[in-house]
Amino acid sequence: MKRRSLLLTGAAAGGALLVGWGALPPRSRLGQAGLWSSQTGEVALNGWIKVAGDGTVVLAMNRSEMGQGVHTALAMLVAEELDVPLERVRLQQAGHDAIFGSAESFVGFLPFHGDDREPGQETAFFRGARWVTLKLARELGINITGGSASVADAWEPLRLAAATARARLLGVASLRWKLPVAELEVQDGAVSHASGPRAHYGELAAQAALSPPGDVTLKSRANFRVIGKPAQRVDLAAKCDGRAVFGLDVRLPGLLYASVVHAPMLGGSIGTVDVGAALQRPGVERVVRLPPLGGADAALAVVGRTTWHAREAARALPVQWREPPSGPLDSKRIEAALETAARAAQLRDGGFTFHSRGDSRVALAGAAKRVDALYRAPYLAHATMEPMNCTARVRDGRVEVWAPTQVPGLARDAAAQVAGVAPEAVTLHVTYLGGGFGRRLEVDVVAQAVRVALETAGRPVQLNWSREEDFTHDFYRPAGVALLRAGIGADGRVSAFEAHSAGDALEPRWMQRALPALAGPFDAPDKTTVEGLYDLPYAIEPQRIAHVATHSGVPIGNWRSVGHSHNAFFAESFIDELAHAAGVDALRFRLDLLRQRPRHAAVLNLAAQRAGWGQKLPAGRARGLALHESFGSIVAQVLEVSLAGKQPRVHRVVCALDCGIVVHPQGVQQQVESSVIFGLSAALYGRIDIEGGAVKQKNFPDYPLLTLAQTPIIETHALPSDAAPTGMGEPALPPVAPALANALFALTGHRLRELPLMPLLASLRA
Amino acid sequence: MNLTINDRTVSVDDALADPSMPLLWVLRDVLQMTGTKYGCGVAACGACTVQVDGEPVRSCVTPLSALQGKRVRTIEGLAGPGGPHPLQQAWVEQQVPQCGYCQSGMLMAAAALLEANREPSDGDIDAAITNLCRCGSYPRVRSAIKAAARQLAPRRRPSKP
């Protein structure tokens, strides 16, 4: 099946579901005031906005704060359109209504090529598929904080909700004072008229709730007073004095603590266990057998009076574990099998073709020069600083859950299923997340916590994983292998490009765990396996990009930037190889291939210019560059690198980007710093090995992260834009590894084609 | 057993805490002081950093028995009676935290550094701040420490001509 027919099948299925409910007018996305649980003195003006008696604006916050600054960015959108200072916007966790669901993330799953979706030049086919997908997604109302989509998703509905609320408040003032709306002024949440009357929102809200909004227009960029301007994150103070409540900080009267131990082997199960020995220990209340839940393996949970008591008992638990029926997993063997699969696909035009144009095989045969390369990427762990946990209480037929989760609705569904109650009987509180990076798109710990809470007679339980459990029972970034080849003509231009890659499809696995209702009987081709490889921005003709989706049995999931995290390394390292083979400067080579992509060229030029590309560096230093688009944002980076012995030192990272309108400039800057550092940790050191069925890396000493002392200077330069915003939580990560490898090539003359880079670098002869 | 935490004497329930229990869990689960975080349990990440007699200490590997007669300071006691610590102010001004989970430990390590060294160089900061941060707050941690150091530095007299 080719990409286009797959899309059409999906669109037809979608179309069938569309019958009966028609098109949703934008205003219905504002929701009803009745969605709110209102407190005394607060008046809801729609599903998103309430006004408190003192004029404070309350925003229904549907997205989870995991460090990416989303609470601040979304509050800024509302502050802008309501003309209130950011400090006057208070956040209250949103409910589970469909208006709070995600839409843009689902569009991101569509395997469209950049040629179809370049803003302003979208094909009719893409526009149609996007429309259907958005409609479907809004009907489903699945709330995901992920896919760098929160600001893009909120851009229209949140500003519209705020502007509509403002129009109603103004309308009331106009009626009350018998003055035309056009003559009224709004500042800091107060409406006034030059002739004297003045009232703050709190004094107008009750009447506004009963009046129609009238005409609503959104501000143009020139009139922004909040968007794109400096703003302080709304969560800073609480995160500097210990007050911020993460999942592990929930404290309730009578709270018990449950520590989980899984079988050391992935997929293993519990044989025999001597529970009596554990119960003899001080502070231990009980031991609960956990069946496989939410994708987690079978496990034991020791319930104790403190985390320490529970954990010490769990550690000492005499258990005989069982191997998985399929035998122990081994990552070396899996990686060898991936290479075999990719080679077979290359030999026989195999795999699922995500993109092809022209006859690459013929063109390759006739090329003046051929470049062939094999690239590899390992499994990776998320290693959020806050290990996995969830707190639950089951009492009187009701379930209450406190979870640091990226998927509150799916978490609620999982809790309901385990407890055997309707989702409406579950109250879910989203805490701050001590990092997410895709790990908290899973519901495994939520299901485990509720399962344990069913056995504690109404007492609340905080279920926690040790760091060792967190490392050894993650849903890992899948390992991948890509065979790339290209031809270079006598004129020095690329005359053909082919990619044959192999690796597990991850989204079908995630769907089975977190969204079983939508998981199909067979795996649809997973775009994330090839994202960033099948949709190169470069004008290369002909080309063919195919992928062999495997099923290795290793638990895999979404890891910050997903498929882009390794495909950018493959693609942008290989482009560098081609530039070198053609004898052309890496910047000029790329620009030459970007003549039809002015946005990409502008970003690349900006990075090169700010980094001083082509200018002399001190001896022993070299630059590497990479360009990559992901989640709708384009990022180019230039890294300045030296080597002290075999230890690389990154001195400076210049990052240029186009993410449409920048809502929160420091937020974007923070996310660039975050992604660069996350990306450097992975590029230099990140790897998870599975030996004898068990994950070898068990704690931070086995899985090094970049330290403060190693952190380079990071500069962020955003291109001015009038386009709707796209995400920045992930897009600055993918270019890091290839830019680093390209710099190391410039330094050493060795092309490092395998992540992480350190082992290969260490093996080079001095 | 009695502990001195943030200049107050706190009694710890012996039924819940034995001498081998790490300070981290005494703080978090017995005293309900959750500002100090668990990250690794092996003194590798620094999320649990507190001060004992002014020295930065990884509370996940510090048993209760080692604290007799010592003064413990946690993130909850970093601010003074006059308001936030200069580091906390700098942390807000420089927008250091992202997810924020490691920041209690970062702040306690930074406060210990500044108490020992009012004008830390980049090298001093590199050596003192070994805490891990997965969000990448490092560049801002560095600049905020420098900003706080500038604020704490005694005003220098203008040099004589």
CATH number at residue A520: 3.30.365.10
Q: What is the pLDDT of residue A517?
A: 85
B56 touches chain A (CB under 8 A): no
Tell me the shortest Cα–Cα distance from A711 to chain B, in angstroms: 7
Whether residue A116 lies inside any domain: the answer is no
The residues in B 103-122 lying below 8 A from A, measured between CB atoms, are 103-104, 107
Tell me the shortest Cα–Cα distance from A231 to chain B, in angstroms: 10
Tell me the shortest Cα–Cα distance from B14 to chain A, in angstroms: 12
Q: Which of A488, A487, A484, A486 lies closest to A500 in space, CA to CA?
A: A484
pLDDT bracket for residue A628 (50, 70, 90): very high
Whether residue B71 lies inside any domain: the answer is yes
A432 touches chain B (CB under 8 A): yes
A292 in the same domain as A220: no
pLDDT bracket for residue A5 (50, 70, 90): very low
Across the interface, which of A236, A244, A468 has its CB nearest the CB of B95? A236
A416 in the same domain as A347: no
B103 in the same domain as B63: no
A561 in the same domain as A415: no
B6 in the same domain as B64: yes
Of B76, B97, B113, the position where a domain reaches its end is B76
B97 in the same domain as B125: yes
B119 in the same domain as B63: no
Residue ranges of chain B with pLDDT lower than 50?
160-161
- Residues near A140 by beta carbon (within 8 Å), at least 6 away in sequence: A98, A101, A518
B54 in the same domain as B103: no
Q: Which amino acid is at B70?
A: K
A415 in the same domain as A511: no
Of B76, B94, B110, the position where a domain reaches its end is B76
A431 touches chain B (CB under 8 A): no
* A chain contacts of residue B36, beta-carbon cutoff 8 Å: 242
CATH number of B24's domain: 3.10.20.30
Across the interface, which of A232, A666, A714 has its CB nearest the CB of B139? A714
d(CA B17, CA A530): 53
B97 in the same domain as B60: no
d(CA A262, CA A51): 48
d(CA A161, CA A49): 7
Q: What is the pLDDT of residue A642?
A: 98
Whether residue B115 lies inside any domain: the answer is yes
Whether residue B39 lies inside any domain: the answer is yes
Across the interface, which of B17, B95, B104 has its CB nearest the CB of A666? B95
Q: Which of A479, A543, A523 lies closest to A687 in space, CA to CA?
A: A479
The residue written with tokens 């449950």 in the block is A258
pTM for the full predicted model: 0.96
Mean pLDDT over all residues of chain A?
94
Tell me the shortest Cα–Cα distance from A310 to chain B, in angstroms: 11
The residues in A 435-474 lying below 8 A from B, measured between CB atoms, are 435-437, 466-468
CB pair distance less than 8 Å for A241 and B45:
no
CB pair distance less than 8 Å for B101 and A308:
no
B48 touches chain A (CB under 8 A): no
B91 in the same domain as B55: no
Q: What is the pLDDT of residue A25?
A: 54
CB pair distance less than 8 Å for B98 and A670:
yes
Token pair in block for residue A317: 């638990």
E strand residue ranges, A538-646:
543-550, 621-630, 633-644
CA A569 to chain centre: 18
How much of chain A is in helix, strand and coil states, percent to nearest 5?
40, 25, 40
Q: What is the mean pLDDT of residues A252-263?
A: 98
Q: Which amino acid is at A662?
A: V
Whether residue A658 lies inside any domain: the answer is yes
Q: Which has more pLDDT, A121 or A375?
A: A375
Across the interface, which of A69, A707, A711 has its CB nearest the CB of B139? A711
A534 touches chain B (CB under 8 A): no
Q: What is the pLDDT of residue A362?
A: 95
Task: State how many domains chain A has.
Answer: 3
The angle subtended at Cα A557 by Cα A556 and Cα A558, nearest 5°, is: 150
CB pair distance less than 8 Å for A435 and B101:
yes
Across the interface, which of B29, B132, B135 has its CB nearest the CB of A67? B135
- In this structure, what are the phi and psi dihedrals at residue A28, rounded to the nearest 5 degrees? -70, -15
Whether residue B81 lies inside any domain: the answer is no
* B chain contacts of residue A66, beta-carbon cutoff 8 Å: 99
Tell me the shortest Cα–Cα distance from A573 to chain B, in angstroms: 24
Q: What is the pLDDT of residue A35?
A: 79
CB pair distance less than 8 Å for A257 and B133:
no
CB pair distance less than 8 Å for B103 and A239:
yes
A126 touches chain B (CB under 8 A): no
Tell me the shortest Cα–Cα distance from A157 to chain B, in angstroms: 26
CB pair distance less than 8 Å for A384 and B97:
no
d(CA A656, CA A219): 27
- Find the helix packing angle between A444-453 and A408-419, rounded to 10°: 40
B97 in the same domain as B50: no
B55 in the same domain as B15: yes
B40 touches chain A (CB under 8 A): yes
User: Domain residues for B122?
Assistant: 86-152
Q: What is the pLDDT of residue A7?
A: 41
- Residues near B110 by beta carbon (within 8 Å), at least 6 away in sequence: B87, B128, B129, B141, B144, B145, B148
Cβ-in-10-Å burial (0-12, 13-18, 19+) of A619 comes to: exposed
Half-sphere exposure of A184 (CA within 13 A, CB side): 26
User: Domain residues for A304?
Assistant: 247-325+388-464
Tell me the shortest Cα–Cα distance from A645 to chain B, in angstroms: 20
A709 touches chain B (CB under 8 A): yes
Across the interface, which of B18, B29, B134 has its CB nearest the CB of A435? B134
* A chain contacts of residue B97, beta-carbon cutoff 8 Å: 67, 233, 235-236, 239-240
Q: What is the pLDDT of residue A37?
A: 72
| Chain A residue with the nearest C-alpha to that of B88 | A240
d(CA A658, CA A731): 10
Q: Which has more pLDDT, A4 or A184?
A: A184
A711 touches chain B (CB under 8 A): yes
B95 in the same domain as B62: no
A336 in the same domain as A321: no
Of B76, B111, B128, the position where a domain reaches its end is B76
Tell me the shortest Cα–Cα distance from B157 to chain A, in angstroms: 33
Mutate to test the interface with A, among B65, B96, B98, B131 (most CBs of A within 10 A): B98
* A chain contacts of residue B95, beta-carbon cutoff 8 Å: 232-233, 236, 666, 670
Residue A300 has pLDDT above 60, yes or no: yes
d(CA A289, CA A319): 12
What secondary structure letter does DSSP report for A368?
S
The residues in A 58-87 lying below 8 A from B, measured between CB atoms, are 65-69
Residue A215 has pLDDT above 90, yes or no: no
CB pair distance less than 8 Å for B38 and A307:
yes
What secondary structure letter does DSSP report for A557?
-
Token pair in block for residue A164: 């509509």
A484 in the same domain as A373: yes
A413 in the same domain as A552: no
Whether residue A11 lies inside any domain: the answer is no
What secondary structure letter does DSSP report for B27?
I
Q: Is residue A463 within 8 Å of residue B128, measured between CB atoms?
A: no
Residue A13 has pLDDT above 50, yes or no: no
Q: What is the pLDDT of residue B155?
A: 59
- Residues near A638 by beta carbon (within 8 Å), at least 6 away in sequence: A607, A608, A610, A611, A613, A623, A624, A625, A653, A654, A739
Half-sphere exposure of A384 (CA within 13 A, CB side): 36
d(CA A57, CA A190): 12
* B chain contacts of residue A677, beta-carbon cutoff 8 Å: 133, 135-136, 138
A173 in the same domain as A214: yes
B19 touches chain A (CB under 8 A): no
B92 touches chain A (CB under 8 A): yes
Across the interface, which of B44, B104, B133 has its CB nearest the CB of A699? B44
- Residues near A445 by beta carbon (within 8 Å), at least 6 away in sequence: A294, A296, A388, A389, A390, A403, A463, A465
d(CA A676, CA B55): 32
Task: State how many domains chain B has.
Answer: 2
Q: What is the pLDDT of residue A33?
A: 83
Mutate to test the interface with A, among B121, B135, B141, B143 (most CBs of A within 10 A): B135
B58 in the same domain as B103: no
Q: What is the pLDDT of residue B156?
A: 54
d(CA A639, CA A650): 7
Residue A547 has pLDDT above 80, yes or no: yes
C-beta neighbour count of B155 within 10 angstroms: 5
CATH number of B110's domain: 1.10.150.120
